[in-house]
Chains A and B, each alone.
Chain A
Amino acid sequence: MTAESAGVQPDSKGTIRVLQLYPRDMNIYGDWGNALVLKQRISWHGYTPELLEYNVGDEFPADVDVIVGGGGQDSGQLVIQDDLHSRAGVLTALAEDGAPMLAICGLYQLFGRFFKTRLGTVIPGIGILDVETHGTDERLIGNVKVATEEFGEVLGYENHSGQTTLGSGVRPLGTTAKGTGNNTSDGHEGARYKNVVASYLHGSLLPKNPAIADFLIRTAAERKYGTFTSGAPDDRYAVLAREHATRRPR
């Protein structure tokens, strides 16, 4: 499909195609917010957004520029597991090639090497990220503040019982200043690899952290068009929502 045929505005800087991974089974926690923020900000930056969905059994779309996927409860993760493995090749190739991706919570775990349940069952991940996750009896719940070099202070809400350990092939998204993050011992949250951003944070993550949204959009534009020129999104509510969120209890 050419950009023109997708109904691009005459003054559009180009089309950016956002693929939501498994929105039907992995959408437990406002994950739509991340897709919506990408869609709107792409357009506020002067590009034309195209939102695509990929669910179990669908044909995998060509020419994807950004991939975003979210949390599922255990039953949702079981439903998508086989399908995800059948798409491991294309997803890994995209990640290695520098495609920007956002993987939240359940998908973060499945992007790793494996998830070992409390009972010892090992659920293999697709290994894009050098991380492993171990199920625990303890649920980590509450507001989280993360200090990051790339995106400044990242705010969100965690709710997970899996604890993730990072291998040498990835670096953490940042250091937790409030809340737990990846696990109860290391004091960091999320993972970064190439242009993949993985995190436990809901909230949704992107609305109150527009720096991450803009990183994904900029990377997608540069990868596709060689350059990115930014628009001027009105972020005053994001700024105020961050100010108020940062004062809320755990």
Chain B
Amino acid sequence: MLYISVPLGKLVRRVSRLRGGGSALPGLVVEKIDPGFMQRTLATLPHGVAVVSGTNGKTTTTKMVVELLESQGLKVFTNRTGSNFTRGVAAALLGEVDWRGRLTADVAVLELDEAHAVHFVNRVPPRYSLLLNVLRDQLDRFGEIDKTAQLLQHVADKTTGTVVLNREDPRVARIAETLTGQDVQYFGLDDSLLSTFPNDDDMRAAPGSPAPAALPHKPAADVVLRKVGPDTADFEYDGATVTTGMKLRGVYNIFNAAAALTLARSICGGGAATADHATLLTALAQVEPAFGRGESLTVDGQPLDLVLVKNPSGFRLGLKSFPAGGYATMIAINDNYADGRDMSWLWDVEFDSLRSGGVDQLTGSRAYDMALRLQYDDVPIGGVQPEIAPALAAFIRAAKGKPKRIFCTYTAMLAIRRELSKITTVEVVS
């Protein structure tokens, strides 16, 4: 069985690629005929497996960790195609192993959504885990925020080495309280930046009221984000603060850089000991945003920013990180399964910041839900057109000569990128 599973899986992978099929089928095949494949293959990695999970920022953070580790000369296996579930990992592995099933890599860094992370760690206990945040997202899948926190708790429990936790998210930070054998490292945020990260608990709270699960004492963090400039950031670690250039934009992306640094320092051995910080920071400065996470394209000689919004906190951070002034704005809201079907989340975002400039175009299957939401925040609305292609064309036509920004849900972003690829250069996402 062992001898045929990898060649067979690879064959299925090749055939399904030829047919333009999904990335997970070959993973399913190899999992069925050789359930030990993933665990056996990943067990050979000298630096083990690192799992990145949480509600927001997994893709960008995983990308950063990979690039940071590569700057240290490590060969990294990762699930780049965004198939962030177990079968997707198996499929990605098939693409990387040779015909005898050997993986030439030093470490695996895997992005896994919360529910799939639990399945994965039951099969493959990771040496490292990085848990970013627990926010209101896709509650229709996981039920409740506290339930999501329990999923991450399980990932931490199964971790054999170091667990990296967000000190500023009480539900994540508290995971440390129940861990016994693991080394715990935190990444943190300067107090002056905390207000830019409203969490779900303070969302509608009276001013000054505490989040219910706040930690009584803030533990020391391995890396702290101290300051964010227009294209720089200050990080503190090992008792000193360093300033580095950043191509990433948006405070939340840069906070995740602190997360990535902490994990990379852990993997490189004993925190700072063997990491070469000059090259780490150079690598960090070079990281480009993952697709749709604040990436900037060029249309008609003007920048067009795509900002992915998946949940209330992400939307609020997006509005805060990318101010509307001088930009034409479009919002694209779909309610496909991957976006989440419930529109309630739009009502937990304040749109006051768009009031003075208005929103030029609304689109997506729930364009009129968005219009209704903006009406109740007294935000002027230009056009509403649920069909994405004509809405995008109208937006680009009407906003000629102006920089443009599109806030979009996941499947709306995929559709917009497809349309944009007809008129500008867009990285193809498989």
Contact = CB atoms under 8 A, between A and B. Distances in A.
Contacts of A204: 344, 347
Contacts of B345: 29-30
Interface in A22-47: 23-25, 27-33, 36-37, 40
Contacts of A87: none
Interface stretch (A115-123, A191-199, A233-241): A233-241
Nearest to A250: B341
Contacts of B206: 24, 53, 55
B344 A30 contact: yes
B177 interface: no
Given A157-B344, A244-B365, A25 B203 contact: no
A234 B342 CA distance: 24
Nearest to A243: B368
B344 A203 contact: yes
Contact of A237 (B145, B212, B344, B371): B371
Contacts of A240: 368, 371, 384
B97 to A, nearest CB: 38
Contacts of A11: none
Interface string A219-245: 000000000000000100110110111
Interface string B46-90: 000000000000000000000000000000000000000000000
A127 to B, nearest CB: 26
Nearest to A207: B372
Contact of A23 (B136, B205, B212): B205
Given A142-B341, A203-B344, A207-B373, A237 B205 contact: no
Contacts of B36: none
Contact of A248 (B201, B341, B344, B372): B341
Nearest to B213: A75
Number of chain B interface residues as a range: 35 or more
Contacts of B212: 25, 75-76, 79
B372 A238 contact: yes
A245 to B, nearest CB: 7
Nearest to B140: A141
Nearest to B386: A244
Nearest to B369: A241
A73 B140 contact: no
Q: Which 6 residue pairs across A and B have the least CB separation, nearest first?
A: A33-B347, A30-B344, A30-B347, A241-B368, A73-B144, A240-B368
Given A37-B376, A207-B369, 10 more contacts: A25-B212, A27-B348, A28-B136, A29-B344, A33-B348, A73-B144, A75-B212, A207-B372, A240-B371, A241-B369
